[in-house]
Chains A and B, each alone.
Chain A
Amino acid sequence: KAGVTQTPRYLIKTRGQQVTLSCSPISGHRSVSWYQQTPGQGLQFLFEYFSETQRNKGNFPGRFSGRQFSNSRSEMNVSTLELGDSALYLCASSLWVNGPEAFFGQGTRLTVV
């Protein structure tokens, strides 16, 4: 079966702009989580969505938001981009109840200039 798909793979944006990243989970997976990976902070949990509702949120400012659609696809949005938002953004999908593991996408590399 197809894995988790993230688009686009690479993005370059300027400070102050906003950006939207997309994640298509594995078919049948209803939970989607987002993570930010940076050399300094490592992998950090952003938020999790299930049934179009945000279930959990990490310690990130309100500029980071997301949503999930009825087909479980998810988007995350970052507004008013800062240089420090440059990172690899990873999406992971899993089953909701007793999900044995999270399956990760290849990520979207965001560079803010």
Chain B
Amino acid sequence: GQQLNQSPQSMFIQEGEDVSMNCTSSSIFNTWLWYKQEPGEGPVLLIALYKAGELTSNGRLTAQFGITRKDSFLNISASIPSDVGIYFCAGRSNQGGKLIFGQGTELSVKP
């Protein structure tokens, strides 16, 4: 079945640093989504991407839909302590609208 490889699995950074994480797939997706999940909560949608090559920002967050449709990255600039959490990428092809999730990137920010 379809799989998403998300990396890195975890990051420990200093407050103020920039962060980058990415997802790759062996198959094509027509939608890429990035979510953030905090402990004991459901994922919250950060950015949605619908076109190959699309670059979208949401505050300090920027995400891009890869030209090949098989990858996406998420950048966080000038990280702050409240950025702590697990970030998931998710992709959707045309198969019934189901989302395929990456393994998650756990972000820790040291003040």
Q: Are A and B associated in one complex? A: no
